[in-house]
Amino acid sequence: MDRHLTASEARADLLALVDAAQKGERAILTKRGVPAAALIGVDELESLRALARLWQDTVALRAMRRSFEDLRGGRIAKVSTAPSLAKLGGLGRRRGRA
């Protein structure tokens, strides 16, 4: 859950806010009652950056669309454990013929 506080409140409690951000909490800082900035943990920031890179990668987007189409069409591969690279390659080759 997001915690909203003024910039002045944040300044007085900055170290506690940083600790909370490291645990996954977010702080929304307001200026004159309007949200102005957010304090988030570095892990969340890196996840957001990686997601943004994926959305800008046309090859990755195409692959995600194909995966969703396969899922909707019932074309899925069920695995009980993490597959090896050879197994994944085999699945990809079979998919290419479908």
pLDDT tens string 13-53: 999 999 999 999 999 999 999 999 999 999 999 999 988 88
Query: Please, are residues 6 and 30 in contact by the beta-carbon 8 Å criterion?
Result: yes
**Furthest CA-CA distance within the chain:** 62
Quickly name the fold that domain 2-42 has.
Answer: YefM-like fold (3.40.1620)
pTM: 0.59
Token reading at 14: 């900055």
pLDDT of residue 98: 45
Residue 23: name the closest of 48, 56, 1 by CA: 1
Domain spans in the chain, listed from the N-terminal domain onward: 2-42, 57-97
Distance CA 22, CA 63 (A): 33
Mean pLDDT estimate for the chain: 86
